Amino acid sequence: MPGRLEGRVAVLIGAARGIGAAIAERFVEEGARVVIGDTEIEAAQATVTRLGGEATARFVSTDISQAADAERIMETAESAFGKLDILVQNAGIYPWTLIENIDPAEWDAVMAVNLKGTFLAAKAALGPMRRNGYGRMVFTSSITGPRVTSPGHGHYSATKAGINGFIKSAALEFSGDGITVNGVEPGNILTEGMEASRSPEFVQMMEQAVPLGRLGTPRDIAHAALFLASDEAAYITGTTIIVDGGQTLPEGPDFRIRPSLG
């Protein structure tokens, strides 16, 4: 069903590269015009060019932890393309620090982007969507926090669990305005960042923990975001889709079927 977002206008926060850029690309393939917000200016501009330039995509330098930036990108969508139909808040930071070593300033920084940024994006998008009588809000959560966690991700886990709670509240509050609010929970996704910062041995280890036998791709997440942003998901709100290749299913590490051990 091509053209599922034909005529729609989407704001995507954190879409210069990786998962966010894949979502932007998928939305444009389905007929949307997009406004990308990010702090990575060169990467975001390259993504806009790849998506077809100003007729299809715009870029606004955006620090989503700042209310003025959140409001400015929504205003840009309305002024450039006439309305705002879809919000995707994908921006997030994930420093690795054990709880005992987390400085309060680092804690606040993670909260500001991941959790406060989710609130600010939703609040800024609400007015344009309410005027439009239509809206789809999609937030990138994670399996880390709501489902599982690992050492060093105490602050990150807290923000992603918080996002899931916010999704439920926002879905209830915005339901009378024709706005749905949902999220995607990615598992381990092989992004540019992972490839740059992790060894091949680490990637192989993570693949072995996934029942489907591979790490996810940014496009895997983009497909789920597209569904939630489309009219196919018109009767879905207040929930999340786990996209993790089955990673959260096993009770233990030895999950391959081995009849001799039964």
Structure tokens at 98: 């054990």
Distance (Å, rounded) from C-alpha 112 to C-alpha 244? 26
Q: Is 88 helix (H, G, I), strand (E, B) or coil?
A: strand
- Please say if 134 is a catalytic residue: no
Distance (Å, rounded) from C-alpha 89 to C-alpha 70? 10
Distance (Å, rounded) from C-alpha 245 to C-alpha 8? 30
Structure tokens at 240: 């999340």
Q: Which of 94, 134, 156, 235 is catalytic?
A: 156
The CA-atom distances, in angstroms, between 229 and each of 9, 35, 134, 237 are 11, 15, 11, 11
The dihedral through the CA atoms of 89, 95, 97, 100 has a sign that is negative
Provide the angle, in degrees to the nearest 10, between the axes of the packed helices 117-132 and 67-81: 30
Residue labelled with tokens 């998901």: 233
Question: Would you please indicate which residues are annotated as catalytic (active-site) residues?
Answer: 156
